[in-house]
Each structure stands twice: as structure tokens, then as C-alpha cells.
Structure 1
Amino acid sequence: MDPDRLTPQPLGQKLREPASWRLVVLPWLLFIATAAAAIAFAWQIWRPAPFGDPLATSLVAFDKQDRLTVFSAELAPVVASDDSRLFGLVTSRQVAVIPARVDYAIDLGKVGRERMRWDMANRTLTVRLPALQISRPNLDEARAQYLREGVWITRAAQDKLTRDNTRLAERLAVEQAANPVLLSLARSAAKDAIRQNLAIPLQMAGFGDVKLSVSIDGEPSNP
């Protein structure tokens, strides 16, 4: 057995080990605390200060876009038309499915300072947008599907049936575009788009994280 292992360690050495550990760690703790204080002090001095006012900053962001398309819907109106010739002796019928696209947009040119309100205490910007604008349906007749019925369908009758179905499909697409479900989706998309378009300019202007409350004319009020 090694006699050195049986030799008791001096009591003073055992008492000095914790003190030695503190001597190594304490300078680093002081350094970290000093660096953190310096960074905090520098941030207070050099952090970007907001300039102008949030309403002006938001209006500038709107001026760059004017009309903003926020949502698009793909519709498939199913319509039918009849044709009669030779005093009713020759009849024909055409059923058509004509895909249509409808766009929902917000006219940002109508958004003025009177439609905005800034709450400094709560850091909240309230924006009231004009009503959604629904575009004229864009019919994709190249992808249309037709089903024709009749013993004898002349070229003139076929052209008339197609024209009639096109008008009916456009009218039906307008009605479908006004469906409450689609309008709700379009309004939600519009609010999200406005929040995203305003958040970055306000942050760059030095206002930090701003709460954005967006509403749209004509939307149903919450019960």
C-alpha cells in the first residue's frame, strides 16, 4: 500500500480549494455582468428612435400599392340553355360547366388618415378598410365542358347555346362570388395582408412591435 495515500492532507489546503475556485469564476462573472450592463447602456443610447408618426408611415406603405388583390376563388358554374327552331320542331339543349376565376381586392387609395387611429398607450394601430371589390369573373372557356342534347343541332343553334351559357355562367359566377363563406375568407386574407404590409414599415421606422387591429366596411358585426 502506498504510504502517501495514508498521509492526511493539511487542513489549510482543504479550506483553500473553494476559495481558489471562486477566484477563478468570480472575474468571469464580473466581466459578463459588466458586458451586459454596457450593452444595455449602448442600446438605450443607440437604439433607433421612431420618427414621424405611425399614421404617416402606414399611409406611405399604402401609397406604394394602391389596389391590393388579397384573395382569388376558382368557381365552376353549371348552366344550361335551350334552343328551338322551325316552330318548335327542332329543339336542342346544352349543359355547360365553365371554370371561372374571381379576384377580391382592396382599394388602398381610399384609405386616408380618417380611417386610422393610433393608441399610444396600448401601442395599437386601428385601420378600417373600404369594402372588398369583386372583379368580373374571368371565364376559362378553353377548359369548359359541354353536354348537348338534340336529334339535330345546327351550327347556328350551337353558337347560340354557347353564347347563352356563357352569359349565364358569368351571372352565376357573380352570385357565387358573393357567397358569405368566400367573402369571409377574402376578408380574413385582406386583414392578414394589411398586417404584414404595415408591420415591417412600422418596425423600420422605430416603432417596434405594434398591435394592428384591422376591420373592413360591410363585414358582419360580431354578436
Structure 2
Amino acid sequence: MADDLKTETPEIQPEVRREQPLARIQAVPWLIVIVLLAAVAWLGWRAFFYQEEGDPVGSAMLAFEKQNSLTVFSSRFEVVAESVDRRGVLNLDLLESRQAAIIPATVEYRLDLSSMDRDRFAWDEERETLSVILPPLRISRPNLDEGAQKTFTEGTYVSRDASADLARNNSQQAERKAAEFAKNPQVLALARQAAKDAVRQNLAIPMQVAGYGDVSVEVRFDGEPAPE
């Protein structure tokens, strides 16, 4: 009877755990960091240094890609302006004053690089020469240094209003004269030559870095004949 009431106790199997090596667990974050750094380095190289092989024009355009405008020349000169003010009563000029001013002015000459598309570049593989055609120079509005101007005033009595009118007229006159002087053929020639030199320098060095060697860069403006 006792044998019939005997119960069997189920065996409890111990749970087996496989612990991963500590070195492997610690290496996972470092592997992720290395992969991320490699990805960032590749993206940076792709964005800033990669160019199609055998495409010197693409390399040249890449040198201008980050620049919308390039200041190539600055001219500083003095402009002389003279104004006369007459004031009176009943159409009679009782008071007359005159003021002459010597005003320093600065004008900048810029290249608009945003219009430099592929049609403005040509590569001569045989001569290892890159030809570049530049758009016309843009001339800035004259910047008058009125704080450094010299004035000479004549008149028996110069009222405050007359002095203000003389100064305003001289400033307007000086700006017009400065704009005209900026278009002087001799000054323009200097600015255009400075632009060519700047473009040669900005292209020759990046082309060498890109692996094209000692490349010649020929630069001319719209309308100028190509060199023979």
C-alpha cells in the first residue's frame, strides 16, 4: 500500500547560461565608433576633394564653387568737387558762398563667379592648358571717405543751411565723378589684368594639387580674342 502512494518528485534541470566574453562586449561600442568615423571621413572626402578622373574642367570649377564673387582690384583716389550757393530776398542774390572739397573715394572691381559655367572653360590636353573666359567686371558704387575730406569755403556769411546744401551737393558731385573715373580705360586695364592674375593663381595651384601637374592657365574676358 505504501508503494502505491509513493509519488515521484520531478527533476529540476539547472538553467544553463552562456556568458559572452567581456572583451567582445567591450569591443562592440568601439567598432561602432570606428565605422562612424570612417563614414564621416569618406563623406568629407567625397564632398570636398573628390572629382571625376580625367576632368580638369570639373576640378577648375570646383575651385570656384565656394565663391560667388571675387574682389580682384581696389582703386583709391581723390575727387575734387565745387558748389556755389546763392541766397537773397525778392530774387536778389545778396549772399553768395562757394565751397570746394577734396574727397577720397574707393572703388572695387569684382568678378561674378556664379555665372562661371562649363562653357567658360576649355581644356587642351596636348598643350596641358586650361582656357578660361571671364564675364565683364562689376564696379562697385564709390565709397566716399567724407570724414577725411578737405574743404575750402568762401563767402561773407555762410549760414547753416547754406553749408549743409554745399556739402550735400559736393558729395553728390564727388560720387558721380568717382563713378566716371572708375570707368577710365587705364584704370579698367589695371583691374582686368589684376583679375586675370587672380584667376590664374586661384586655378593653377588647385590643379596641381589635383594631380594635373604644372598646368598653364590662359585667361581672357568676353570679347577678347583667343591667344594664338
Quote the Cα distance in structure 2 between the aligned partners of 1:171 and 1:208: 47
Quote the Cα distance in structure 1 between the aligned partners of 2:55 and 2:135: 22
Letter in 1 for 2:67: Q
1:114-125 correspondence runs (5 A): 114-125=119-130
Quote the Cα distance in structure 2 between the aligned partners of 1:163 and 1:104: 26
| CA RMSD in angstroms, aligned pairs only | 1.7
1:133-212 correspondence runs (5 A): 133-212=138-217
Identity between Structure 1 and Structure 2 (%): 51
> Larger Cα Rg: Structure 1 or Structure 2?
2
Quote the Cα distance in structure 1 between the aligned partners of 2:226 and 2:216: 21
2:63 equivalent in structure 1? 61
Quote the Cα distance in structure 2 between the aligned partners of 1:114 and 1:193: 20
Please, which runs of 5 or more residues in structure 1 have no aligned partner?
A: 1-49
The one of 103, 113, 127 equivalent to 1:98 is 103
Contact kept, 8 Å, 1:80 with 1:165, in 2: the verdict is yes
Letter in 2 for 1:62: F
Once the two structures are TM-superposed, the CA of residue 219 in structure 1 deviates from its matched residue by 5.8
Q: Any idea what SS the aligned residue of 1:209 has? A: coil
Instruction: Give CA-to-partner distance per residue, 1:129-168, whole Å, 9 cap, x none.
Output: 0001100000000000000011010000000000000000
Q: Any idea what SS the aligned residue of 2:93 has? A: coil
Matched, 1:214 2:219: yes
Contact kept, 8 Å, 1:51 with 1:205, in 2: the verdict is no
Instruction: Give CA-to-partner distance per residue, 1:37-83, whole Å, 9 cap, x none.
Output: xxxxxxxxxxxxx8241111111111112100000000101010010
Q: Any idea what SS the aligned residue of 1:152 has? A: coil
Letter in 2 for 1:151: T
Letter in 2 for 1:114: D
Instruction: Give CA-to-partner distance per residue, 1:149-204, whole Å, 9 cap, x none.
Output: 11010000000000000000000000111111111111111001000000111111
What is the TM-score normalised by the length of structure 1?
A: 0.75
Q: Any idea what SS the aligned residue of 2:127 has? A: coil
Please, which runs of 5 or more residues in structure 2 have no aligned partner?
A: 1-51
Quote the Cα distance in structure 2 between the aligned partners of 1:219 and 1:72: 23
Quote the Cα distance in structure 2 between the aligned partners of 1:109 and 1:216: 15
Contact kept, 8 Å, 2:57 with 2:123, in 1: the verdict is yes
Question: In structure 2, do the counterparts of structure 1 residues 162 and 221 end up closer, same or farther at CA, with 3 Å as the change threshold?
Answer: farther
Quote the Cα distance in structure 2 between the aligned partners of 1:144 and 1:67: 30
Greater than 4 Å deviation, 4+ residue runs: 218-222
Q: Any idea what SS the aligned residue of 1:121 has? A: coil
